[in-house]
Amino acid sequence: MTDSVSRRTFVGAAGAAAALTALPRGAAALEPTLKAPAIHLKPVARFGAVSSGNGLRAVNKTFELVSAGTDTLDAAVEGVKIQELDPDDNSVGYGGLPNEMGVVQLDASCMHGPTRRAGAVGALEGIKTPSEVARLVMKYTDHIMLVGEGAKQFALSYGFKEENLLTDRSRQLWLEWRANRGKEDDWLDVPEGEKMARVTGTINLDVVNTKGEISSITTTSGLSWKIPGRCGDSPIVGAGQYCDNDVGAAGSTGRGESNIMVCGGFLTVEHMRRGMKPTDACLETLKRVLAATPPRLLRPDGRPDFGLQFYAVNKAGDFGAASFYPDQFAAHDGREGALRDCAFLYQRSR
């Protein structure tokens, strides 16, 4: 204690301090002279949407809707519907290539991360947008998958219109394929240059918003000229797509049977759960597919004789894609949508 502070002054100050500490709970506190700056927490994620190469319009539409507050799954459905309704996309929806009987059968599945629910349809005939029907199965039933005639009747009960899904172009391609089936049948052979290959094609879309809400969806007309009733990976939850709102989402396009054998959508999300970046997770799943591929589907050099691609986005908004051979994918990072190059395992043979 210094000489400049009297005992009376010290005792008075001490008493005032004691009175402050003795304020009853709820009493007004003195306003501090300096206030701590407000803390602004960063969002848990940034927007990210990833899709197959035919999904550039889809990721742009999804970004537009999510930015306006639309739910991630509802936005994704509107995105993939662009391809489902496009008669020039022969791998999805209206105008999709038919089965061997000339009938277009469509498959789709979806998952909604926030509610942890899923819906799917398989071998759906006469309905242009199976993505919407899959979402209805998810929202209004205690089931996950409806198939065939039951799926169509379910769609009709919700007001969908039954339509012929064959376009003039897809029907012509089917007729050309029929004429190439064999030398001993009753069909005339078409010129050698018009020999028809089997076509796989699909659209997968995985999206996360700035709240960290994740959804995924895959829709397809499936393998061209397939055996009637065949379903690939697209309507299989855990194969054609998978979503975990704590981790991320992933999906695929390409040879569905090979993906089903490893539950590729689920496996890719599990790789991300263990800390892998989306691109690395996709590559790792492709390696698992290759290890599970029978010799009849491999080339003499041991490389796959088919195509398969995986796409993934994590909860932070990072995205990536990978394929066996060089390919492209569509993505939107919250600033712009663009086509990007997939990571890949092998260069194409010359």
Q: Which active-site residues does the annotation give?
A: 202
- What 3-state DSSP class applies to 12? helix
Distance of CA 332 to the CA centre of its chain: 13
Phi/psi at 184 (5° precision): -100, 5
Cα 56 to Cα 49, 82, 234, 339, distances in angstroms: 10, 10, 19, 7
Is there a contact between 49 and 278 (Cβ–Cβ < 8 Å)? no
Q: Which residues contact 349 (CB under 8 A, 6 or more apart)?
A: 299, 301, 303
Phi/psi at 239 (5° precision): -115, -75
DSSP string, 114-166: TTTEEEEEEEE-S-S-HHHHHHHHHHH-S-SEEEHHHHHHHHHHTTPPP----
**128: nearest Cα among 74, 168, 83:** 83
**344: nearest Cα among 304, 313, 292, 315:** 304
